[in-house]
């Protein structure tokens, strides 16, 4: 069976909405690629943060493809009333090439001071002290190239206490859970509601030799609340509206008193609303990190 690649070139503000929309139609998730960074700059960290992103998804070229295309373009038309949307670009990918098609857009990238994220099919020269993460996202979200993921990785490198108990809520490819384990966490629970993401994350965790530290499961916030589990650090890289909804479901309770919580996937103009929701769930925002239009909020659960 052939596949249809759907791609849109968007700015950071539109990327969240477009990625969420394509998620409904794409097979095994959505890929987000930074534009304007030559491959030879990925290894040395010299590239500036991009202002445009390409969002890609792959649709089966079967009898339902035309209906999916019409639904997608109708939804984009509705979004266009709120924010200018580009015209989607379609490309036929043969079955024999589908698994490799998106790999051309995924290169090794250096993040923070020591983190080197690379796909298993691309070599990258290691430096003394590097912490290497070998990642095959399997077309699931979380390759290290999106600003929201990079902000989380930088915050983990700076803020993760040695020996911490960590929760990666909405783990995607497992990149943040793996980074936490490699940075010295004592244990990590990686949760995602998507069984495909759980499968991909499990494979990546095994690839990086941290299966003894990380438990990956299909699950949601509800299961944590009922189990009364508490964590020294949680990292949530999802969408602002999902974070706000989780705050209404007592998200703050999964952070131990004195613990740290990192929230990403937030567009700049959504930050105040997210911070207000965090305060209502018992977390105190303490700092912001920003890359282009994207923001990460650091917060703590105060000691009683």
pLDDT tens digits, one per residue of 75-84: 888 888 888 8
Average pLDDT over residues 130-138: 84
199 and 90 both lie in a single domain: no
Element (H, E) at 60: strand 52-60
Domain final residue pick, 84, 104, 124: 104
User: Do 198 and 245 lie in a common domain?
Assistant: yes
Is residue 122 in some structural domain? no
Query: Which band of pLDDT confidence, cut at 50, 70 and 90, is reported for residue 146?
Result: confident
Same domain, 161 and 75: no
Boundary (domain end) residue, out of 77, 104, 131: 104
**Helix (H) or strand (E) run with residue 212 in it:** none
> Last residue of a domain, which of 85, 104, 123?
104
Examine residue 213 and state whether it is found in any structural domain, yes or no. Answer: yes
Residue 60 domain flag:
yes
CB 161 within 8 A of CB 258: no
Which residue in the block uniquely carries the two structure tokens 């390409």? 54
Per-residue pLDDT at 143: 65
Q: Tell me, yes or no, whether 86 and 167 share the same domain.
A: no
Mean pLDDT (the chain, rounded): 86
Q: Which domain holds residue 68?
A: 3-104
Residue 111 lies in a domain: no
Q: What is the mean pLDDT of residues 138-166?
A: 84
Whether residues 99 and 146 fall in one domain: no
> Quick one: which of 241, 278, 283, 276 has its CA closest to 260?
283
Instruction: Give the gyration radius of the chain's Cα atoms.
Output: 19
Element (H, E) at 266: strand 255-267
Looking at the structure of the chain, the number of domains it has is: 2
Report the C-alpha gap between 7 and 113 in whole angstroms. Answer: 32
Domain co-membership, 165 together with 281: yes
pLDDT band at 103 (very low <50, low <70, confident <90, very high): low
Share of the chain above pLDDT 90, in %: 47
Answer yes or no: do 164 and 100 share one domain.
Answer: no
Evaluate whether residue 64 is within a structural domain: yes
Nearest to 136 by CA among 47, 201, 59, 60: 201
Mean pLDDT of 274-281: 97
What CATH number corresponds to the domain at position 20?
A: 3.30.70.120
Whether residue 160 is found in the same domain as residue 293? yes
Pairwise CA distance, residues 228 & 296, whole Å? 26
The CA distance from 69 to 91, in Å, is 12
Cα separation, 155 vs 288, in Å, equals 10
Cα–Cα distance, 105 to 145 (Å, whole number) = 10
In a domain? residue 127: no
- More confident call, 211 vs 126: 211
- Sheet with strand 31-34: strands edge to edge: 31-34, 52-60, 3-11, 89-93
CB 49 within 8 A of CB 94: no
Q: How far apart are CA 27 and CA 11, in angstroms?
A: 23
More confident position, 136 or 130: 130
Length in residues, the chain: 304
Kindly state whether residues 180 and 267 are assigned to the same domain: yes
Instruction: Please tell me the distance from the alpha carbon of residue 33 to that of residue 302, in angstroms, as a whole number.
Output: 37
- Which two tokens mark 30? 């959505």
Domain containing residue 160: CATH number: 3.40.50.150
Cα gap 304→300, rounded to integer Å = 12
* Domain contains 121: no
pLDDT of residue 43: 44
Does 80 share its domain with 171?
no
Strands (E), 94-239: 109-111, 115-118, 131-134, 165-169, 187-192, 214-218, 231-237
- Specify whether the CB–CB gap between 196 and 218 falls below 8 A: no
Residue 120 domain-assigned (yes or no) = no
Residues 206 and 277 in one domain: yes
Same domain for 35 and 164, yes or no, is: no
Indicate whether 88 pLDDT > 80: yes
pLDDT (tens digit, 9 = 90+) per residue, 37-47? Answer: 554 444 444 44
């Amino acid at each position: 069976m052939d596949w249809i690649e759907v791609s849109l070139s968007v700015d950071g503000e539109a990327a969240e909405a477009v990625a969420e929309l394509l998620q409904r139609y794409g097979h095994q998730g959505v890929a987000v690629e930074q534009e304007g960074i030559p491959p030879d700059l990925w290894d040395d960290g010299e590239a500036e943060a991009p202002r445009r992103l390409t969002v890609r998804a792959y649709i089966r070229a079967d009898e339902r493809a035309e209906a999916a295309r019409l639904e997608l373009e109708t939804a984009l038309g509705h979004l266009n009333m709120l924010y200018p949307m580009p015209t989607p670009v379609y490309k036929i990918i043969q079955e024999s090439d589908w698994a490799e098609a998106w790999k051309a857009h995924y290169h090794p990238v250096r993040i923070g001071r020591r983190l080197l994220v690379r796909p298993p099919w691309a070599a990258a020269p290691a430096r003394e002290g590097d912490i290497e993460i070998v990642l095959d996202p399997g077309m699931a979200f979380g390759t290290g190239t999106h600003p929201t993921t990079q902000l989380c990785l930088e915050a983990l490198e700076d803020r993760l206490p040695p020996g911490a108990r960590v929760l990666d809520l909405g783990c995607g490819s497992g990149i943040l859970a793996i980074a936490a384990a490699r940075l010295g966490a004592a244990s990590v629970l990686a949760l995602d509601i998507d069984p495909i993401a759980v499968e991909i994350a499990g494979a990546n965790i095994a690839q990086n030799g941290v299966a003894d530290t990380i438990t990956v499961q299909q699950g949601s916030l509800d299961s944590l609340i009922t189990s009364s589990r508490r964590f020294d650090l949680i990292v949530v890289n999802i969408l602002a509206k999902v974070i706000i909804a989780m705050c209404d479901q007592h998200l703050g309770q999964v952070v131990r008193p004195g613990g740290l919580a990192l929230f990403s996937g937030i567009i700049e103009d959504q930050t105040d609303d997210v911070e207000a929701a965090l305060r209502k769930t018992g977390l105190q925002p303490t700092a912001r990190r920003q890359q282009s239009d994207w923001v990460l909020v650091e917060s703590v659960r105060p000691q009683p």
